[in-house]
Structure 1
Amino acid sequence: MHYEGPIYRPPSEAHSLLVQATIGCPHNRCTFCMVYKKGPRYRVRPMADIVADLEEARQTHGDGVRRVFFPAGNTIAMPTEDLCSICAHAHRIFPHLERVTVYGSSQYIHKKGPGDLKQLADAGLSRIHVGLESGDDVILRMIKKGTTAEQQVEAGLWTMAAGIQLSLYVILGIGGTARTVAHASRTAQVLNRVAPDFIRLRTFVPKINTPMLKMVQSGAFEMLGPHGVLKETANLIRLLDAPSQLTSDHYTNYLNLEGRLPECRGRLIEEIDAALKRPESDFRPFFIGDQ
């Protein structure tokens, strides 16, 4: 198996076979992300190399592989024909395969359009992990996400209509103290319109070598403390009506929340209210991320 550059995968892909399909990220301008700021530059690996890694994995693990994740940061951006080819090949050589998954930003999903997404679904792509981050266009511009709330809604709806599961990630606190109310309300609006299969919560942590860290250090961006993040989370959950599975499976979060919306809303709010009774010193300390 061959890997180049940082290789990340979602916690939910912990037991997946990782076969690198792309290198780097074609956007690579998000102000909160440090992953590819120092390279490598984005490119698609040669198809022969990807297939060779799949074949090597077949020799190593046999035909019992049930999940495959194709890194790196934005594999949905690779040519549709090529991505279809490796998805189909994975299904051919792993007959018990249950899931093939990639990372993908909304702007690149949107460029695919409904037709290409249906082709990918038919080829065996079963889930896309998407960093929604926020539904507030002011925040999306600030973090240079390269998309808009409306484009994210369309990309999400097209993905689900194609029959591909959708896992959307929200960054709690990404609007700071200035945009916390707008962040919660406008993100809830997007999530309710899309109704993704999964809503996954992350909490903003400034990372080394990022513009956001410089903003925090200069005072241009005022971060929410633990109580502020929990209150923002409660505001978000109160507004969510989408029939989605909510989870907060990440080391950055102050509280582990898990439940099916909207029926678990009341229990989740109670858990947050209980946490808010604890002093802020009870929660993880501030830190600067290095990964």
Structure 2
Amino acid sequence: MHYEGPIYRPPSEADSLLIQATVGCPHNKCTFCMVYKKGPPYKVRPVSDIKADLEEARRDYGGGIRSIFFPAGNTIAMPTEDLAAICIHAHALFPHLERITVYGSSQYIHRKGLSDLIKLKQAGLTRIHVGLESGDDVVLRRIKKGTTAQEQIEAGQWVMAAGIELSEYVMIGIGGRERSREHALLTAKALNAINPDFIRIRTFLPKINTLLLHQIRSGRFQVLSPHEALRESAEIIRNLDVTSQVVSDHYTNYVDVHGKMPQDQHRMLRTIESALQMGEEMFRPVYVGTQ
């Protein structure tokens, strides 16, 4: 099997077979992301090469594989016919396969439209992980996300309508102190409109080789303290009106807040309130990440 450039996968795909379908990210402009800033440039691997890697995995691991993740950073952007072809091939090789997952930014999902998403569902794509980050258009412009709240809402709604599982990632603190409340309220509003299967919480940490780190060091962006980040998390959860599963499966978070909405909403808010009783010195410091 062949891999090029950084290979990242969501924590929930820890047990998945990783078969690289694309290299890099076609957008690669987000101010907070360091992953592909030094390359390699985005490209789609030939379908024949991806199929060969799947066949090698079948020889090495047998037919019992139950989940596959196709890196890299935005595999949903590959041509629909190509992505469908490798999904179909994977299901043919692995009869017990239950899940095929990719990363996909909203703008590339939106370009496909509902009809192509339905084709992918029929080919066997079962889950897409989307970095919503924020529902605040001001924040989205500042972090150069390349999309709008409305486009993210429509893309998410289409994924759900196609019957593909949807994980939406929310980044606590990405609006900084200046936009914290607006970011929280508008993010909850976008999530309410989408009602995804999963809402996955991440807390912003600055990373090396990013424009946002430069903005922090020049005083143009103020990182939230632990208590501020927890209050922002509570504001989002308090304003959710969804049936989603809330998950806190990441090392950046200050407290593990998880549960099923709406029945666990008050319990999650109590967890945050309890954490706010602790001194800020009890939480991890803000540091500059290197990966």
Give the TM-score normalised by the residue count of structure 2: 1.00
The secondary structure found in structure 2 opposite 1:63 is helix
- Structural mapping, 1:1-291, within 5 Å: 1-291=1-291
Question: One-letter code of the match for 2:90?
Answer: A
1:207-254: CA deviations, max 9, x gaps? 000000001111100111000000000111000011000011001110
Question: One-letter code of the match for 2:255?
Answer: L
Structure 1 residue 285, shift from structure 2 partner: 1.2
Question: One-letter code of the match for 1:225?
Answer: S
Q: Name the CA distance, whole Å, in 2 between partners of 1:284 and 1:92.
A: 46
Runs (4+) off by over 4 Å = none
Question: One-letter code of the match for 2:44?
Answer: V
Question: One-letter code of the match for 1:70?
Answer: F
Question: One-letter code of the match for 1:56?
Answer: E
Q: Name the CA distance, whole Å, in 2 between partners of 1:14 and 1:238.
A: 30
Aligned pair count? 291
Structure 1 residue 46, shift from structure 2 partner: 1.1
Question: One-letter code of the match for 2:220?
Answer: A
1:178-202: CA deviations, max 9, x gaps? 0000011000000001000000000
Give the TM-score normalised by the residue count of structure 1: 1.00
1:20-73: CA deviations, max 9, x gaps? 000000000000000000000000011111001000000011010000000000
Question: One-letter code of the match for 2:102?
Answer: V
The secondary structure found in structure 2 opposite 1:62 is helix
Question: One-letter code of the match for 2:242?
Answer: A
Q: Name the CA distance, whole Å, in 1 between partners of 2:52 and 2:100.
A: 17
Q: Name the CA distance, whole Å, in 2 between partners of 1:126 and 1:207.
A: 31
The secondary structure found in structure 1 opposite 2:52 is helix
The secondary structure found in structure 2 opposite 1:199 is strand
Identity over aligned residues, as a percent?
Answer: 65
Structure 1 residue 271, shift from structure 2 partner: 0.6
Q: Name the CA distance, whole Å, in 2 between partners of 1:281 and 1:3.
A: 41
